[in-house]
Structure 1
Amino acid sequence: MKKLIWGSILCLLMGTFACTPEESDQLSKLNNAEVDHFVFGRYYGHCLENCTTVYMLKEDGLYADLVDRGYPDSTIAFVYTSRTAEYVTLAKKLLADFPDKLMNEEEETIGCPDCADQGGYYLEIKQGKTTRSWWIDTDDSRIPAYLSAYTAKVRKAVEELEK
């Protein structure tokens, strides 16, 4: 009888403390295709400190770049340790808000990023074997209106991640 009671208590405790389903590790879909990775950030061609700040979001985490200077591209290196879950959630939200219209842009350079030392935003999406990237002006008057709100979100996310 004692074994039955202890067994019941054990089952009850296991049920009470069982894991709950976590947020999906899967990244968002964009244009009905799975996203393998999403890179976002900003850069400045001429500055005295860390001039390049970009992050890569993958299924297993969010990773900061390993460079201080230079224009970002698809060959940039990233650290191997992920940022905290809070920051991963922030980056996933940024990916979920990614403007579909940007995928239809023919040009990779939008506006004149860093032409007047104002810096630029870098975005990159990898889906399967296809990688698309964009260098976007920080001056809202030089970019399409639909991008202004999104680049403001990128700026805010990068500032939050730099804290």
Structure 2
Amino acid sequence: MRKIILGILTIGILLSCNGDDDSEINIDEQNFLIFGHFYGECGGEGCIETFKLTDKSLFEDTVDDYSGQDMKFIELQNDVFEQVKNLTNFFPNELLNQNETVFGCPDCADGGGLFIQYSENGNIKSWRIDQVKSNVPEYLHVFMDKVNEKIALINE
């Protein structure tokens, strides 16, 4: 009888530990693109916008941490994903070969900056890019435009 009661208690404890908050999604995929913009001298929700794009979904960061270190993502609707899923087609491969992680002086003159993080098979690289195109290499310009375009689409 003790074994039955002990078994029932054990199962009950295990089931009660599985009550996670479903509003946040833990993403364990190794291939993704995080993109966003940040503006230091700014007020409101749109000052820091960060998104995570995988091959199947789009997620939005709910923390809006300026440093990009503390991010928690929630999944956005599929129609929004459909509007931005091709962003990776514009990612400049030259960026992967750069030793620099900062281009220009992001948000130094209140012009804002882009935060980009790319992961392929768990190998993560991050960059901060000045929004002022004259301060960054030309090969980044089309990608910068697309990132800003996709953020605008998401925020419509």
Q: Does 1:139 align with 2:132?
A: yes
Residue ranges of structure 2 left out of the alignment (5+ in a row): 1-28
Q: Does 1:43 align with 2:48?
A: no
Q: Does 1:83 align with 2:79?
A: no
SS of match in other structure, 1:64: strand
SS of match in other structure, 1:39: strand
Q: Could you tell me how far 1:35 is from its partner in structure 2?
A: 6.1
The equivalent residue for 1:55 is 51
**TM-score, structure 1 as length reference:** 0.71
Q: Could you tell me how far 1:149 is from its partner in structure 2?
A: 1.4
* Structure 1 residue runs of 4 or more that deviate by more than 3 Å after TM superposition: none
CA contact (8 A) 1:52 1:67 kept: no
CA contact (8 A) 1:125 1:131 kept: yes
SS of match in other structure, 1:114: coil
Q: Deviations over 1:107-128 (max 9, x none)?
A: 1111100111111011111122
Give aligned pairs, total: 127
Distance verdict in 2 for CA 1:125–1:68, change over 3 Å: closer
CA contact (8 A) 1:42 1:120 kept: yes
Root mean square deviation, CA, Å = 1.8
Q: Distance in 1 between matches of 2:57 and 2:137?
A: 31
**Equivalences for 1:1-163 in 2 at 5 Å?**
36-50=31-45, 51-68=47-64, 70-73=66-69, 75-79=70-74, 82-163=75-156
Letter in 2 for 1:76: M
Q: Could you tell me how far 1:87 is from its partner in structure 2?
A: 2.2
Which 10-residue stretch deviates more, 35-44 or 100-109? 35-44
Among the aligned pairs, what percent are the same residue?
31
